[in-house]
Structure 1
C-alpha cells in the first residue's frame, strides 16, 4: 500500500494498483469531490474505529491480533456476498466471482505473509501510540521503500526523493523524542509495520502477474490466506485464552456490531480507492493521500485530546511534510517518464 496507495494508514484490504498509463480524467467536479470525500471518510474511519476498539472505548479490547483476524473474516464475507451478487447484478460486477486455486494460492502465499505482518503490526502500533503520533510511527515506510528498492530491485533513487526521506527520518526522530506518551512497543511495531508496507508494495507488483494483474482476484487470495495465516498467531499469542478468561462483554451486541462495522469499513477502503483511481488523476491521488494524513492528525488531536509537546508537533509536521514531498517527487518522476 512503493508508497502503499500513497496512503499508509488504513489500506488494510487493498493491494496497490499497477502503475499504468491513464486516460485523462474529465469527470464533473462534484463527482470528483464526492469520490475524494468518500475516500477520506472511509479511510479515516478505519484508523479511528480501530483505535477506539483497542484502547479508548468503554470496552478497551487490547487484542489487536484477534481484532485484525476478525476484521479479515468480515471482509471475506463481504467479498463473497459482493462477488456472488455480481453474477446477476451489474451494479456489483466490479468484483469478479470468488476463486481459490491451490496452485495460485501457493504463489501468492509469500506476499500474504507480508500482508499479515503489515496488518498485525499496524494494529499493534495503533494500540500503543496516540493517533496523533501514529503517522510518525508509520512514516518510515518511505525510507524502507528506498532501501528495499535498491537492495532487492537494484534501482537507484533520485536525490530529491532521498532528501524527502531524510526529512521524514528527522520527523520520526524528533517526534519520537518529543512524544509525551512515548511507547517503545508502539514505535517498534510502527517501524516493523513500515518495513512490511514497503516490502508488500514491492512484491505485490510481481505477484499480480499470477492473477493476470487483477487486484480483485489477488484480494480473494490475500484475504483468504491471511485468515488462515493469522489464526495460529492469534492462538499462540495467548489472546484467545485471555479473551475467554477475562472479557466479560462477549455476549454484548454493540461490541460485535462495532467490530463488524470496522471490518466492513476496512473492506470499503477497496471501493474508495478504486473509485478515486477511476474518477480522479494521479495528482489528485497524491494530494489526497497527503491531505488525509494531515486531517487525520488534526482530528486525532481534537477527538482524543492527546497532549502534544512542541518537539512532538515539530516531528509530526516534518514527517507529514516529508511524506507529502516524497509523494510529489514520485508523481513528477512518473510524469517525466510518461507513466501517468
Structure 2
C-alpha cells in the first residue's frame, strides 16, 4: 500500500471518528415541542363577523323582548322579571362550571369569603339595582329614547372615577364628554313622549351601572381577580338573585296572579331568560375573537339599529331635533372611546380601501356616491317633518274630530 493510499485511509478513518455515526433507527429530535403543540388551542374556523352579528342580534333581542313582556304583554313586574333572569343565570353558570371548560377562568380567581363580602356583594348590589331600574324604565319610555339616554353611561363612569380619585381630571376629556351630554340634552328636549318618572329611573340605572363598573375597576382589576363577563356572572348572579327576590317579595310578588303568568306564557318567560343568558355567553366569545375597537363600534351600531327597530315595531315618533342631538352624542361617544389617533388611522385605512375599490370598479363607485347623496338628502328633508313614525292617539283624535264635524 503506497503512502498516498495510507494518507487517504487515515483521513477517511479520522473523519469517521470525528463525525457521529448516523443511525436511521434512532429517534430524531422534534423541531416543535409536542406538548406545547398539544396545548395550543385549534384556530377557530368561524369568522369574527359571526360573533359580531350574534352579539348585536342577542343584545337587541333582549331589549325588545323585555319591552314587549313588560309593556305590550302587560306583565308589569320588572323586578320579578329581573329576578327570574338572575335565577336562570345562576343555575346555568353552575351547570356550565361542572360540565364544560368555559368557566375554567374562575379557578385563577383567589376568591375567599372575605373577598366575596367586601367585593362581590357590593358590586352585586349595584348590578341588581341597575337591572331593576333598567327594566322599570321600559314601563314609561320608548326603546329609542332609552338607548339615547344610555349614551351617557361613559360620562357617569368618568365623573364617578374623578370623584373617588381613580382617574385624573383631564380638560380635553371633560370637553369631549360635554358634547355627549349636550347631544343627549337636545335629544331629551326633542322627545315627544317625555315621562319624567321614566327618565329618573333610567338615570338612576345609569348611576348604579357606573358604580358597578367603577367598583370592578377599583377592587377587581388586579391580576388575581381578572374575570371575563361569564365568570363575573358566575359570582354575581346568586347574590343579585337573592337581592332582587327580597325586593320583589315586598313590592311585586304579592300582586302577581297565575293569570298574569299564563297571559304572558311560561314558555315565553323561559325563552326570555335563555336569550338573556345567551347574550352573556356571546359577550365572552366576542371579546375573545375581536378587539376593543370592534366592540365599541358594535355598541354604537346596535344602538342605532334599536332606534330603528323601535320606530318600525312600535311606531315610536322621533323628532328631527332628536336626530340632531343623538348624532352629536354618538359622535362624541365614538371620539371619547376611540381617541383621535385611532380614528385618524381608521379613516386613512378606509380612504385607501375606497381608492382601491374606485380604481377597480369606477362605475359602481359613482353609483354608491350618488345613492349616498340621495339617502342623506332624504334623511335631512325627512327631519324637517315634526315626527317620524305614527302616533296612533293623534290619528284617532283627528279621525274622531272629522267625524264629529261631518
Under TM normalisation by the shorter chain, which class is it? 0.7 to 0.9
Question: CA distance change for structure 1 residues 133 and 175 in 2, over 3 Å: closer, same or farther?
Answer: same
1:304 aligned to 307, 311, 314, which one?
314
Structure 1 match to 2:217:
205
The structure with higher relative contact order (CA 8 Å, sep 6+) is 1
- Please name the residue that 2:126 is paired with: 114
Q: Deviations over 1:135-183 (max 9, x none)?
A: 1222222221121111112522444432332122122212222111111
TM-score (norm 2): 0.67
Match of 2:256 among 243, 246, 251: 243
Single out whichever of 219-228 and 158-167 deviates more from structure 2.
158-167
Say how many residue pairs are matched: 298
Structure 1: segments with no counterpart, 5+ residues: 1-26, 336-340
In 2, are the aligned partners of 1:136 and 1:171 still within 8 Å (CA)? no
Distance 1:203 1:170 in 2: 27
Query: Helix, strand or coil for the counterpart of 1:127?
Result: coil
Give the TM-score taking structure 1 as reference length.
0.79
Change (3 A) 1:274 1:154: closer
User: Which structure has the greater CA radius of gyration?
Assistant: 2
Structure 2 equivalent of residue 48 of structure 1: 64
Of the candidates 250, 259, 277, which is equivalent to residue 267 of structure 1? 277
Q: Is the alpha carbon distance of 1:94 and 1:261 closer, same or farther for their aligned partners in structure 2, counting shifts above 3 Å? A: farther
SS of the residue 1:250 aligns to: helix
Secondary structure (helix, strand or coil) at the match of 1:248 reads helix
Q: In structure 2, what is the equivalent of residue 186 of structure 1?
A: 198
The 8 Å contact of residues 144 and 310 in structure 2, kept in 1 or not, is answered as yes
In 2, Cα distance between the equivalents of 1:212 and 1:80? 19
Q: Which segments of 5 or more consecutive residues in structure 2 lack a partner in the other structure? A: 1-42, 346-406
Structure 2 counterparts to residues 210-225 of structure 1, below 5 A: 212-215=225-228, 216-225=230-239
Task: State the distance in 1 between where 2:215 and 2:209 align.
Answer: 10
For residues 141 and 222 of structure 1, what CA distance do their matches in structure 2 show? 21
Residues 165-184 of structure 1 mapped to structure 2, 5 A cutoff: 165-184=177-196
Counterpart of 1:148?
160
